[in-house]
A and B are shown apart, each in its own frame.
Chain A
């Protein structure tokens, strides 16, 4: 019986621990490389962005969609789905840490010896190019894209909005910057143009405030109903129990009656409430002995 109980308890603890681990792992992954997206790529670079060596090559841009710094070191870039570990992004370079909602650029020039951000494959201008970004386990595909064949010179292929779903061609390429330039807050502009007086905001927001508190009201009205029902039921059960328990002994009834009488008539005698502290004379106590607090006299 005890063993069964222990087993059940162990099982419950294990399940809870596993659930917690899953939640923690999922939460941690959400802050990690899974937030990276392939954001823009330029296949034919004739008169465009130069690398640190002054060379013009194709490039691809990754974008961090999360609100957290993501380190892409240890992840893989490839142009071959059957070889996911083709280009391992080197570890130990601080520049592989991508700030929230920021970009990192890789040169697709088959010159990996040029540094961390030069991959060991290059684009083929005459056909469609597949690119994939794999997690550090080399198995989990985080993002991939096939750049259509027939790309024009100095025209990039990228997401319309950073991290968005729609892909378009950009005649004005935007390496390491936002694909859509944000020079204002779109939401604020919308409110300015459509709700200059603020009535829309007032109505919407007050509706939400009322809705939230009405929901709370409804739930607690129901909870209160249940609580009252439960209390009444318990009180009724308690009174039934007293009736069902049959005869109460004479001593109990006498004690109850006496207590009620004393309470009603206030006949309880008042006891003395004088506290006396009597000094006790004690000649010796080791706690007060000075012998123990003295240092031993030096021997000559």
Chain B
């Protein structure tokens, strides 16, 4: 009796050991945990997109705690688990439009309305998406996968998640992590290419101060913006609809409470859920593949192409503009829609060459145009390849 009880305890202890993380750990888990810790370190030490990198980094830790697959509904890929339920906002694609609602409610489109030609700079930067698409095809990805990878070049996390959840759900983790990582690394990626493609004289161009935009124009913008873009690309409706709706809440002036909720508690809640679940979806077994490495490479390339295309387009555009109306090419990088980081880079680089030349307001124009442009591009890719 005594012996059997001890053996019973020993068996149970042995069984318990097989359930522990230590027993189930693989080198892949440790690699992913190291990546998660790196994200957290970058966010805290250098303040690289901390709102995103902390939830994603911690999500990576959560998703890479090894456990025995015993149907206990723990993991994010186990149907009915808490993480799985929260992850449905990503897989079904309803987190990104809600994020766009918040972005719309916090974005001031005045810079763009006062100088509408900056919209074209936002359009030019979308070359990053299609450059990466072309290269991804050459690397052997299917067209739908290449489209989902290419959208990283739009530098818009919610758009990347939305599109990849529709076109290539199997690559969504790698695409989301790649998009957010490079958005955080915008201050490192963009400046060398901005300098490479501009002369010192061009960097000193002073732009006219933007005119004051009336509230009527600001109210008209989301309505016209929605009608024009969505009639052209209806597949961009979930993102563009919510973006412009959020902006109307802000600009109408009579829905202040709704606008504050959209740009405050709502977007914060969704950002937390999105970040943690995307991070947790990068389980080593699913994430550490050769494709993920290729996606990371393509992501970096797409950012470089987008930045270069934006800067070069401004130079080209300047040929047709009169003296005094010329655009400083340093705002070309802001066409990628990493709002407002890429606009801030324009300002920082500009100030290095002329400490009295403030480019931030001008750069916000292509920056918000980039948000619209990348959502339109996502709609086109979804329409063609969905």
Contact = CB atoms under 8 A, between A and B. Distances in A.
A169 to B, nearest CB: 32
B120 A187 contact: no
A92 to B, nearest CB: 29
Nearest to B236: A212
Interface in A188-207: 188, 191-192, 195-199, 201-202, 204-206
Interface residues of A, number: 33
Contact of A214 (B120, B131, B377): B120
B28 interface: no
A31 B112 CA distance: 39
A216 B225 contact: yes
Interface stretch (B11-19, B52-60, B86-94, B378-386): B378-386
Residue among A213, A216, A224, A228 with the most chain B CB within 10 A?
Answer: A213
Contact of B119 (A201, A205, A208, A216): A216
B123 interface: yes
A185 interface: yes
B356 interface: no
A211 B120 CA distance: 9
Interface string B207-228: 0000101101100110011001
Given A191-B143, A205-B130, A206-B126, A212 B116 contact: no
B117 A217 contact: yes
A217 B130 contact: no
Contacts of A198: 130, 133-134, 137, 143, 146
A20 interface: no
Interface residues of B, number: 46
A210 interface: yes
A121 B123 CA distance: 61
A224 B385 contact: no
B123 A192 contact: no
A191 B386 CA distance: 12
Nearest to B221: A220
Given A188-B144, A223-B217, A210 B114 contact: no
B234 to A, nearest CB: 12
Contacts of A24: none
B122 A213 contact: yes
Interface string A141-159: 0000000000000000000
Contacts of B142: 188, 192
A62 B123 CA distance: 45
B217 A224 contact: yes
A195 to B, nearest CB: 8
A187 to B, nearest CB: 6
B373 interface: yes
A208 B379 CA distance: 10
B151 to A, nearest CB: 11
A186 to B, nearest CB: 11
B126 A209 contact: yes
A9 interface: no
B132 to A, nearest CB: 10
Interface string A209-234: 11111111101110110011001000
B199 interface: no
A187 B126 CA distance: 22
A217 B120 contact: yes
Nearest to B130: A202
Given A208-B233, A210-B123, A197 B224 contact: no
Contact of B120 (A197, A210, A223): A210
Given A188-B144, A209-B377, A212-B228, A221 B116 contact: yes
A196 B143 CA distance: 8
B228 A216 contact: yes
A255 B29 CA distance: 78
A227 B216 contact: yes
B239 interface: no
A204 B385 CA distance: 13
B343 interface: no
Contact of A206 (B117, B127, B211): B127
B220 A212 contact: no
A220 B116 contact: yes
A199 B123 CA distance: 17
A249 B217 CA distance: 38
A204 B216 CA distance: 34
B163 interface: no
16 contacts: A185-B144, A187-B385, A188-B144, A191-B143, A191-B384, A201-B133, A205-B129, A208-B376, A209-B376, A210-B123, A212-B232, A214-B119, A216-B116, A216-B229, A223-B113, A227-B217
In the A-B complex, the 6 residue pairs with the smallest Cβ-Cβ separation, listed nearest first, are A198-B134, A202-B130, A220-B116, A213-B119, A191-B143, A213-B123
Interface of A: 185, 187-188, 191-192, 195-199, 201-202, 204-206, 208-217, 219-221, 223-224, 227-228, 231
